[in-house]
Amino acid sequence: MSALATISKLSITYNASAGAALGPLDFDIVEGEKLAVIGESGSGKSTLALAIAGLLPTGTRIDGTIAWPGLAAADDGDRDGKRVPENGRDIGFVFQEAAASLDPVMPVGRQIAEVVRTHRRLGWRAACREAEAMLRRVRLPDPTAAMNAYPHQLSGGQKQRVAIAAAVAAGPRLLIADEATSALDTIVQAEIVMLIRRLVEENGMTLLFVSHDIALAAQLADRIAVFHDGEMVELGETAQVIGQPRHAYTRSLLAAHIGLDTEPLLGRAS
Amino acid sequence: MSRALLLLRRRLVGSIFVLAIVVAGTFLLLEASPGDAVDAYIASTGGDAGMIELLRQRWGLDQSALTRLANYVWALGHLDLGLSVAFSRPIRDVILERLPNTLLLMGSATALSFALGTALGIVAGARPGSFGDRALSIGSLALYAVPGFWLGLVLIIVFAVDLRWLPVGGIETVASARTGLARAADIAVHLVLPVAALGFIYLALYLRMMRAGMAEVWRMDFILAARARGLPRRRIVLAHVARNALLPPVTMLGLQSAQMLGGSVVIESVFAVPGLGRLAQEAVGARDTPLLMGIILTSAVLVLAINLAVDIAYAFLDPRVGADEAAA
Amino acid sequence: MSGLARFFRKPETVAGGLILAVLGAIALAAPALFPGDPQAIAGPPLLPPFRDWALPLGTDRLGRDMLAELVHGARASLAVGLAAAAASLVAGVLVGTLAGFAGGLADEILMRLTDAFQTVPGFLLALAFVSVVGPSLSVVVAAIALSAWTGPARIARAEVLSIRERDYVAAARVAGMHPLAIALREILPNALPPVMALSSIIVAGAILTEAALSFLGLGDPNRVTWGGMIAEGRAVLRSAPSLSVFPGIALVLTVLGVYLAGEGAVEGAAARRGLS
């Protein structure tokens, strides 16, 4: 069980007067695991996701380091063992609002194809074939027609499938899903979670799943990290965190959750 | 495709209403002007009271206002704009003679200002807040403050008088009897300064719109998503940011056509280009109100046609337009 | 931070405000600075600029003092700019508010009317109007307003339409407020700021249009105007370009000042409304 990424003393500050929004944090992301990051609004979980992906706005102060031993090891010929991950190629990112993550004036097929073209250095025709294959993998109805569809012609769940396809198209090692299901209807939510789980297992990816829904995490994750007010209050195996939570905040999260709906839906959706 | 057709149909119906109002308006202005066509004719040709009476009867000017309006509209339906007092020729012929020059001038100026303006706007918008961006921003604002006719005069002073690179005015070398390609080249050389004077002002407008649009699109989530997918910066700037920021300037193209037609009046006057704008000035000078009204009607039709074309082009650029109607 | 303080944040808007303040002061003080008729002969014709300190910018074709003409010309430009903008705004807001309030057929008709006035090129309309009615400063103002009112009308209507549906208007209606009172107390004050943002553009456009009309000989013949000065200088463009260049520079500075100051005002208004 080697580490894909090692986070040491990571601290993020947006606004100097407001203090650190996140951290300091020390933990590893284990290769091949599904790690859920749970917390409420303002807990810093999205900040963590953006920081790992290197997508924080310019001017944000970042202290500490994120090392990627897992990436360096896989690259032969990499002399000093250090590598900075490339967006798209090493890390795939899925955003909360699928509609906002797609260009409204470009057909969705082309948006997936350009990812393939950038990272796998294929021509447009080959890239489009790959894009259609990706649309089939994410179970979009009628992938051939969908290639030329515009985002506004698709439903919320379909748009998110496209966004996931674009995120995964270049075969990244790590997939970060930042509240990827939070804006969807409940049944569609379950479908998308199933889709993510299947893709992660098929490709052998590591998954970082950010959410406010601890029950959803419980069904999907190997480990759960609980965040509160910019700090990680708990990190452990799912069974342990759910069954015997150590921190008071985790206990209150679990108590607040009603817990009737998730399992039957997840089972029905696959 | 059906989206564009639906849009076309709806816009055509609206345009006809607008045209009707313009016709009524020009008729009213014709009525308001002191004296009518007969007075102006007599003033230049001479004649007695009996002649005036006869002409009034012949030209139907002694009948009621409503009848005259009906006659006017009927004539318009046959594309008969009446007789020009100043030229003693049908107004339609005079206008059709001058129209191509104005279209050439306007078309070139629009192409120049749009292409160069949006291109520079992309350059400025690619790196917001940079030195180049701020320089272009202030420069374009200063340019937009320049009166077109004055810019024309300055260009004449610099390029035609001092440097003698380009001709001072006119649309081609008088009595040169050139044909074909040589004639086209001659006309092109004559048009360089007028097109520059007319185009540079609006270049500033498109530059500012494009730059502002790019700054706005940069902040949108799908651009962050594009970065998250690892797309190269150049592709993001061109295929995503610029492509989306292009939409407002295209809309502006239609709106600007009316202003540019107005601007061509002074530019054609400064550079002695025999176009529609210059004709308007001559009509004012000769108190030829029917001719002026004919020019206004022609301009209105031109502006409507340009706006229609731009709207259809826009529908092709933005797939979201008219989507609900086409689906219904 | 108050609107005025925000206005002074950016160097551009301060520069704009400064230019306008200086110009306004000069225009108001013109009779004191250069008493007498600016169109009176002051010296030999076509005296080049920067030669004689009594006539710093030289003289024109008839021997009139260029600097005096420039200063007096500022009065015409600024007067027309402000008056035309005021007229356009008042007319436009009236029509737009009426259309937005009335709705239905009246709204349709008013909007087609607005379309018609926007379709005819504004300058051509002004040209026709001045030629039919006769050139004078007030006619020029009316001619410019004839086409400039459409912008404020559209914005006012859009604002009225959006505000009409808001909760505080519904609350006022439920409380039994008279429709006219609702219009004046609730809707109009909130509809005005975006319209006002347009005002600097209208002023700038009016100044440029007046200059163009004067250039073509359709300005007020009894006044000194910058456009008229440029037209006069055209005859001696090769030998004495300064006759046309100086009034043009004055125009550029004035319009630039209006734009710069206007941008600051727009930001101030937007910030005060909470960037809605």
Which of A114, A119, A153 has its CB closest to that of B235?
A114
The whole-number pLDDT of residue A79 equals 47
Q: List the subunits that have 3+ CB pairs under 8 angstroms with A.
A: B
d(CA C173, CA C122): 40
Q: Which chain C residues touch B168 with a CB distance below 8 Å?
A: none
Q: List the subunits that have 3+ CB pairs under 8 angstroms with C.
A: B
Number of A to B CB contacts under 8 A, please give it: 80
Chosen from B1, B217, B229 to mutate, greatest number of chain A CBs within 10 A = B229
Mean pLDDT of the residues in chain B: 84
**What's the pLDDT tens digit per position in C244-255?**
999 999 999 999
| C-alpha dihedral (B279, B285, B291, B294), degrees to nearest 10 | 60
Q: ∠ at Cα B192 (B190, B193), nearest 5°?
A: 95
| Paired tokens of B7 | 């849009």
CB contact under 8 A, A87 and B228: yes
Spell out a b/e string for B85-117, using b for 16 or more CB atoms within 10 Å of the CB, else e. Answer: bbbeebbbebbeebbebbebbbebbbebbbeeb
B114: closest CA of chain A, how far (Å) = 21
The whole-number pLDDT of residue C268 equals 57
**What's the pLDDT tens digit per position in B84-106?**
777 778 888 889 999 999 999 99
CB contact under 8 A, B229 and A88: yes
CB contact under 8 A, B21 and C208: no
Closest CA in chain B for residue A56 = B224
If you average pLDDT over each of A147-156, B44-53, C99-108, which comes out highest? A147-156
Beta bridge partners of B123: none
The whole-number pLDDT of residue C203 equals 92
Say whether pLDDT at C154 is over 70: yes
| Paired tokens of C227 | 């456009």
Helix residue ranges per DSSP H, chain B: 2-32, 37-45, 49-58, 65-77, 91-126, 131-144, 148-155, 180-218, 221-228, 233-235, 243-245, 247-271, 276-285, 289-317, 323-327
| A187–B contact, CB cutoff 8 A | no
Mean pLDDT of the residues in chain A: 87
Mean pLDDT on A152-175: 93
Which of C113, C121, C252 has its CB closest to that of B303?
C121
A110: closest CA of chain B, how far (Å) = 11
d(CA A173, CA A31): 9
B30: closest CA of chain A, how far (Å) = 48
| A214–B contact, CB cutoff 8 A | no
| Paired tokens of C104 | 């239905």
Which of A101, A105, A150 has its CB closest to that of B225?
A101
| B219–A contact, CB cutoff 8 A | no
d(CA C229, CA C248): 9
Q: Which chain B residues touch A115 with a CB distance below 8 Å?
A: 229-231
Q: How confident is the model at residue C133 (pLDDT cuts 50, 70, 90)?
A: confident
| C246–B contact, CB cutoff 8 A | no
Between residues A260 and B239, the one the model is more confident about: B239
Whole-prediction pTM: 0.83
d(CA A250, CA A226): 7
CB contact under 8 A, B230 and A87: yes
Residue type at position A129: R
Q: What are phi and psi of A8, to 5 degrees?
A: -125, 125
Select from B42, A121, B8, B14 the least CA-distant residue to C111. B14
Radius of gyration of chain B from Cα atoms?
24
Mean pLDDT on C217-232: 90
**CB-based contacts of B134: which residues, under 8 Å, 6+ apart?**
none
d(CA C118, CA C148): 9
**What's the pLDDT tens digit per position in C255-264?**
998 988 887 6
**What's the pLDDT tens digit per position in C61-76?**
888 888 888 888 898 8
d(CA A96, CA A98): 6
The whole-number pLDDT of residue C4 equals 61
B202: closest CA of chain A, how far (Å) = 26
d(CA B256, CA B244): 20
| Paired tokens of C70 | 């420039």
3-state secondary structure of C129: helix
